[in-house]
Amino acid sequence: MSKSLVFILIIPVFALPLTLSLFSLCHLSTCKHFDVSHYTKVQLAYTLLGKTQTAMDQLHMHFTQAIHNTVFQVVLGYVELCAGNADTKFQKMQYKDLCTHITLDSYIPCLTDLCKALWEVMLSYYRTMQWHEEHDDTAAESDESVVDHSYVQKKLEHGLTRIWQDVQLKVKAYILGTDMSNFKYDDFIVVLDVISRLMQVGEEFCGSKSEVLQESIKRQSVNYFKNYHRARLEELRMFLENETWELCPVKSNFNISQLHEFKFMGQCRSPSVSPSRQVVSSTSPPQEELSLFQQYLQEGNPFEMHIEHKEEETEDVLASNGYESDELEKSVYQDYDSDSDVPEELKQDYVDEQTGDAPLKSVSRETIRSKKKSDYNLSKTNAPILTNTTLNVIRLVGKYMQMMNILKPIAFDVIHCVSQLFDYYLYAVYTFFGRNDMYESSGLGLISSRLRTTLNRIQESLIDMNAGIHGPAEDRKEKVPSPHLSQMVVLTNSGTLYGLAQRVVATESLVFLAEQFESLQSHLDTMMPAAKKPFLQQFYSQVL
């Protein structure tokens, strides 16, 4: 018999309260870092004292205390570090007030450490339940032990929900303690990713849908996204007003899935899923998916992976100098080296009027290079016709969809904004190239009724027709001024057929953008709440 158990057997009655207090301290330490040997001794001691049910009551009290102490110490550490002084006023603050003092720079590191620490507490509870399951199976089945085991089992199961509720409330206070509306996009995505992972932990821990976390992150997301979208619309207006409507030289096999912003669509779940949980190759036999608690039972932490696994791939979508590869470029020049391919006027020798020297071969080759490049660009019939602004809009759509993919409760808000990106681009192309105010008193006179209806709707809902005029800011903050065509684009010159090339590029780029939306329809449809699906269907049938 061990010395600790001998000590327990000879404890005087008057010393029991002190002994139970000592065991309580043992329980408290177990709440953060579960130790099988340590916990086994403590439980045996409580059993010998006939205090099994008391032990369970105290266990839950200690886990609640552990959660409170853990989050307070983590946040306090960051607040004091960023404050840069030894002021003790922060130590006397309530946790909720302390959360409001987190700086923007420390927000993500603190959130990650907060989740790491809370994971350790929940893992300890998970391992505590495992211990009782294993020992209940081997325990003697006396009437008293059966009652105790039943009480312990019910208490532990009930404790799962209570502990997760405590975790949610603590993280909620942290989430709502900072205004995230001015976060960088990538930083906000990391926040969503961490919270998404935490909600996954909650689902595996006790089957919870994490309504508290969902509601708090939704509030922040809607607020953030409104500000983000307003800034992007202003940015899009600047792009359109500086656009010269020339070809953006993408490769002939360009596809939006090659852009970083759409990489998430190749994943089976949201970006919060660790690499170990991604879909295995089709050649591998199907394997049972391990829960996070099974994966990190002995070591590691599911919140370690954030930021560290950020992709560093490079995109390869642009053609080089109008050519798809150096090899193609080289072969084109070689073709022009033959006399049969060189135009007659370029074969003739000539003398430089200033130096009297005959030109070097490189001079004529440069001329050929320029001429051939022009010919090549004109013959690239298979390459998509789009502009830099089109590419920018497509990237924005990818970013918006990534946000929807991680946080589905704001899916409708985001899809509504995605439709506005297309609306604004459509409106700009029409006002730049399609409208002729000489013949249209309303500006919308000589077009089909269907297009007129669409443009009227866009104008009323999205375009600020009173830009520069002082009016109710509340009425105009959701709108953006009508864009103006760049002065670099001249549509009145008969020598350029009144800007025919720019008109074709603008129209074809709009067609290309519509095609990309068509290709994304099924994906957007799966994200849209059932009650809001008619909006998406109307957008596709009436606008695109």
Percent of the chain with pLDDT over 70: 67
What are the pLDDT digits (tens) for 68-92? 999 999 999 999 988 876 666 888 8
Confidence class of residue 502 from pLDDT cuts 50, 70 and 90? very high
Nearest Cα neighbor of 98 from 137, 68, 143 is 68
Q: What H or E segment, with its residue span, contains residue 532?
A: none
HEC per residue, 414-472 = HHHHHHHHHHHHHHHHHHHHHCCCCCCCCCCCCCCHHHHHHHHHHHHHCEECCCCCCCC
Q: What H or E segment, with its residue span, contains residue 481?
A: strand 480-481
Q: What is the mean pLDDT of residues 318-323?
A: 58
Give the N- to C-terminal CA distance of the chain in Å, as an integer: 81
Nearest Cα neighbor of 431 from 477, 483, 382 is 483
pLDDT: which is higher, 417 or 24:
417
Phi, psi of 481 (to 5 degrees): -60, 155
Residue 332 has pLDDT above 50, yes or no: no
Of the given ranges (32-36, 236-240, 417-421), which has the lowest mean pLDDT? 32-36
Which pTM was predicted?
Answer: 0.72
Mean pLDDT (the chain) is 77
Residue 422 has pLDDT above 90, yes or no: yes
Question: Whole-angstrom Cα distance, residue 411 to residue 404?
Answer: 5
Question: Whole-angstrom Cα distance, residue 465 to residue 454?
Answer: 16
Other Cβ atoms less than 10 A from the Cβ of 52: the count is 18
pLDDT of residue 52: 67
Residue 429 has pLDDT above 70, yes or no: yes
Q: Where are the alpha helices (DSSP H) in 276-357?
A: 292-295, 326-337, 344-347
Q: What is the mean pLDDT of residues 433-438?
A: 69
Query: How far is CA 198 from its chain centroid?
Result: 15
